[in-house]
Structure 1
Amino acid sequence: MQTLLSECRAVFSARALVWVLTRREVAARHAGTAVGILWPYLQPLLSVAAYYLVFDVVFSMRLQDGGVPHAVGTFLVVGALPWMAFCDAVSRGMNSLIEAGGMLQKNPLPPVLFTTRAVLASGVIYGPIIALVALAYTPLHSFRLPVVSLLPLMAGQLLLSMLLGYLLAILAAALRDTVQIVGFLLSVGIYLTPILFPLSMFPEGWRWVLWLNPMTALVIGYQQVLLQGVWPPAAVWMALGVWLAVVALALNVVVRRSRDQLVDWL
């Protein structure tokens, strides 16, 4: 893991530059808009509001999650918002090196800085929104002690998005088809995550398929905390740890083997 550790040291050494690049990335998302800095936050918030309005207000739909009834819209928001954050971070991280190709060819900057910038910018936008939703769900979790587990869940999701985004960014530089393939997987991945339905509704013999999605553990963790106010089960932390380890090992190999050719691919 020495290669990956050296990448981490490069990010830490250039942390001031990374923060400047992140602020510019966030600013670029609302450049030229009438509402300015609010626009990146309005888009996911309007999606969340639509879920609540359609399923909870208009249709008043309910579902059973392990014997606990929940409004459908309220249930969807808990999983859909982290999923939107994951898709945004991974997609932008995957395209970060291609978009920064010209700069990397002219400046000897570590490529990891640009992927880190893209993922952190997504975290700056979606992190406060998830915190705001957690406040809105106070009647359900009553600020019981397990709510503090939101912090490691969000940190784990950010780290997973960063590792996966950087891995995919290198693969996309080598093979542009990666962008199309991953885009398709992200579009259908929501159906292979317990976001639209509780895990208990999925056929027990096929539940292992859901765990092939790296967001399954995190979504279950968010649901346990925000909907029931209980600690995420041990399976959530184990699955998250396994995914982080697998992606980190793969990234270590890919970075080591692509270091000399990466700029040429771009």
Structure 2
Amino acid sequence: MKFLNSILDVLSKHNLVLSLAKSDFKKRFVGSYFGIFWMFVQPIVTVLIYYFVFQVGFKAAPPVNMPYVLWLIPGIVPWFFFNEALGAATNSLYDYNYLVKKVVFKVSILPMVKIVSCIFVHAIFIYILFGVYLLYGEMPSIYWLQCIYYSFCTFALVVGLSFITSSINVFFKDMSQIVNIALQFGMWLAPIMWHYSMMPEKFLWLIKLNPVYYIVEGYRDSFITHVGFWNRPLLTLYFWVITGIIFLVGLKLFKRLKPHFADVL
């Protein structure tokens, strides 16, 4: 019951979260001549690098009959969101330390503020993803709308993880560096640049243990194979059980450490 009350309490502050997220989003570009343009430079350059290395250089062929870039983008777009959101949310308590020290402020919404701010950028990338597929002559499909569901999956997973990493980061400042290194490894551990069929069958279950696998393959199901998430019931159940456990552990850890945040910050 306490767990449910905590979730409802956070959800009741959705207007405040949205307001702070908009402010955070705008604050990133204060004093920048090109503004929001810089938000997309690195991801787009990353996609171009992988395109030239794997398709032009190594002549890599995706497991489906389509250009490599159409196979790559649905996998890498959710990763950009996951990567940026977790990194930003981990440092959220430091970035908003002046709010942490306010007695009446709901500190638990701060990681969500950073994540919602990242959703604005992710939404634009979704539009770019639609545009790329249309430019290549792909016909729109109702399955494309599944990206909304898988974006929510990413949001839920990041919120749970950020409760853990942001609370620990207050007392152990190296946590943000550990998260950055883990994300660098995570990009290659998840089947983003490569297909899971390249793994030996006996090790395939290890790849599927990674909840990001569900999200990446879900995006590809939406744009490439047109498979509904309801057609993967066991994988869907596993993802939400793991995400729920992470969320529960993260929320409890956050609540236990919260009384000491103001003293340390």
Instruction: Flag whether TM exceeds 0.5 (same fold).
Output: yes
What displacement does 1:64 show?
4.3
Q: Does 1:210 find its partner at 2:207?
A: yes
What letter is aligned with 2:156? L
Corresponding position of 1:96: 92
Distance in 2, Cα, partners of 1:141 & 1:171? 45
Distance in 2, Cα, partners of 1:2 & 1:111? 17
Corresponding position of 2:156: 159
Change (3 A) 1:122 1:111: same
CA contact (8 A) 2:167 2:258 kept: no
Q: How do 1:26-105 and structure 2 match up within 5 A?
A: 26-52=25-51, 55-56=54-55, 58-59=56-57, 61-65=59-63, 68-105=64-101
CA contact (8 A) 1:79 1:219 kept: yes
Distance in 2, Cα, partners of 1:117 & 1:202? 38
Change (3 A) 1:249 1:12: closer
Distance in 1, Cα, partners of 2:251 & 2:98? 24
Q: Does 1:223 find its partner at 2:220?
A: yes
Distance in 2, Cα, partners of 1:20 & 1:173? 24
- The match for 2:141 among 144, 155, 171 is 144
Q: 1:110-153: CA deviations, max 9, x gaps?
A: 11221111000011111221232034224576323322222111
Q: Does 1:177 find its partner at 2:154?
A: no
Q: For structure 1, list consecutive stretches of 5 or more residues without a partner in the other structure.
A: none
Corresponding position of 2:2: 2
Q: For structure 2, list consecutive stretches of 5 or more residues without a partner in the other structure.
A: none
Q: Please, what is the CA RMSD of the aligned residues? A: 2.4
Q: 1:194-242: CA deviations, max 9, x gaps?
A: 1111111112111222234321110011112212233244144223212
Distance in 2, Cα, partners of 1:124 & 1:87? 14
CA contact (8 A) 1:93 1:169 kept: yes
What letter is aligned with 2:69? G
CA contact (8 A) 1:217 1:240 kept: yes
- The match for 1:108 among 104, 118, 124 is 104
Distance in 2, Cα, partners of 1:186 & 1:61? 27
Change (3 A) 1:95 1:164: same
Corresponding position of 2:252: 253
Distance in 2, Cα, partners of 1:208 & 1:174? 35
CA contact (8 A) 1:93 1:116 kept: yes
Q: 1:174-196: CA deviations, max 9, x gaps?
A: 32232222221111111111111
TM-score (norm 2): 0.87
**What secondary structure, in the 3-state scheme, does the structure 2 residue paired with 1:35 have?**
coil
Aligned residue pair count: 262
CA contact (8 A) 1:193 1:215 kept: yes
TM-score (norm 1): 0.87
What letter is aligned with 1:260? P
Distance in 2, Cα, partners of 1:80 & 1:262? 35
CA contact (8 A) 1:85 1:126 kept: yes
Change (3 A) 1:207 1:264: farther
Corresponding position of 2:126: 130
Q: Report % sequence identity.
A: 23
Structure 1 stretch displaced more, 77-86 or 33-42: 33-42
**What secondary structure, in the 3-state scheme, does the structure 2 residue paired with 1:176 have?**
coil
What letter is aligned with 2:85? A
What displacement does 1:13 show?
3.3
